[in-house]
Amino acid sequence: MADSSLKDVTQLLSAAAAGDSQAAVRLLPMVYDELRKLAASRMLKTPPGQTLQPTALVHEAYLRVVGDADSRFAGRKHFFFAAARAMRDILVEQARRRASLKRGGDLQRVDFVESGIAIEPPSDDVVGLAEALQKLETDDPENAEIVNLRYFAGLTTEETADVLGVSTATIERKWRFARAWLRRELGERAPPSGDLDG
C-alpha cells in the first residue's frame, strides 16, 4: 500500500520535473497523504508528550520518496514545494482543530489523544499566517514560496537557496522582506477571529 503510493509520488515528481504541470498539481495531495501517514506511524513510536518536528518529517518523507543517493534529483524542487504546502495545510488543520476545542486553543495534549498525531506547532498564529501568505502569493509568489519553504518545510537558508537555484544572500534578503511584509499584514488585519473559535 504505502509502497505503491510512494512509487506514485516518485513518478509524479519525475513527470513534474519533466514539465508536466498536471503532475505538479497532483503531487500536493499525494505528498500530503504521505506526510500524514508518515507522521502517524512516527507518532506510534514517539514517547507520549513528544512531538514531531516538521523539518524532520519533510526530510524523512523526502528520503522515503526519493532516496538518499540522488540529491541532485530534478524533482527535488517540486517535492519541497509540495511538501511545504502540505505541511502548511497540516499545521493549519492542527491549529484549527486545537482552537476549536472550547476554551483552550493551546491544549496540545488533546491532539495526541484525538488524532494520534502531533506536530510541533509553530509559535506563531499559523492560521493567520496562512491567510496572509495566500495574499502574498498573489502579490509576490516568489517571496511566498520562500516563506513556505523556510517556514513550513523548515529548510535552511542554504537549502532554500539550493532548491530555488539562487544565492543565499538573495534568500536572506527576500526572507527579511517577506517577514516584515507578513508581520505588518498580521499586525494590521483584524484578529483571526471567525475560524478560531468555531
Partner 1 sequence: MAEQSQGRLEALFNAAIELSPADRGRFLDAECGDNSQLRAEIDSLLAHDAGATGFLRSPIKRSASDSAAPDESPASPPEPLPATIGRYQVLRKIGEGGMGVVYEARQESPSRTVALKVIRPGIASRGVLRRFEQEAHVLGQLQHPGIAHIYEAGTATVAAPGGLTAPQPFFAMEFVRGEPLAVYAERQQLGTRERMELVARVCDAVEHAHQHGVIHRDLKPGNILVASEGGESADDSAGHKTGFARSVPRTGTRSIRRIGQPKILDFGVARATDSDVQTMTLQTDVGQLIGTVPYMSPEQVTGDSSQLDTRSDVYALGVILYELLAHRLPHDVRGRSIAEAARIIREEEPSRLSSVDTLFRGDVETIVAKALDKDRTRRYGSAAELAADIRRYLADEPIVARPASTFYQLQKFARRNTALVAGVVLAFTALAFGVAATTWFALREARERRRAEALLVETRHARDAEAREHARAERRFDDVRKLANTFIRDVYEEIYSLPGATKARELVIRKGLEYVDSLATEARGDRRLSQELAEAYRRLGDVQGKAGSSNVGDTKGALESYQKALNLVAQINAGEPNSYNNLRALATCYDSVGLALRALGRTTEAIETFGKYQQVVEQMVALRPDDEDTKEALARGWANLGRMQAAQGKLPEAIINYEKYIAYTAQRTKDKPDDLQSRLNFAIVTLKIGEILVAQDKIDEGMTRFRKALEIEEELCKIEPQNPSYPTSVATTLQSISYLLADHGKAREALPYIDRMRALRETQVRSDEKDIRAQRNLAVVFYAYGLAYENLKKPQKALEAFNEYLKRIERVAAADPANIVVRRDLAIAVQKVGASQRSLKMWAEADKMLAKNVEMMEKLTAADPADADARRDLAIARYSRGNLYVEMANELEKSPDGQRDPLQRAVQELEASLEISRDMKKRGELAAEVDQEIRKTESAIQACKAQLNKINGAAPAAVSNSGD
Q: Which residues bind partner 1 (CB under 8 A)?
A: 47-51, 53-55, 91, 99, 102-109, 112-113, 120-125, 129, 138-140, 143, 147, 150-152, 154, 156-158, 172-177, 179-184, 186-193, 196-197
Where would I find the H helices in the chain?
2-17, 21-45, 54-66, 76-100, 108-115, 126-139, 141-147, 157-164, 168-188
Nearer to partner 1, 3 or 102 (CB): 102
Nearer to partner 1, 22 or 100 (CB): 100
Assigned C-alpha cell, 24:
505538479
Nearer to partner 1, 41 or 50 (CB): 50
* Closest CB 193 distance from partner 1, rounded Å: 6
Q: What does each C-alpha distance from 138 to 134, 145, 177 come to in angstroms?
A: 7, 11, 16
Give the Cβ contact number of residue 65 at 10 Å.
Answer: 23
Nearest-angstrom CA–CA distance, 29 and 39: 15
* Closest CB 7 distance from partner 1, rounded Å: 29
Nearer to partner 1, 11 or 53 (CB): 53
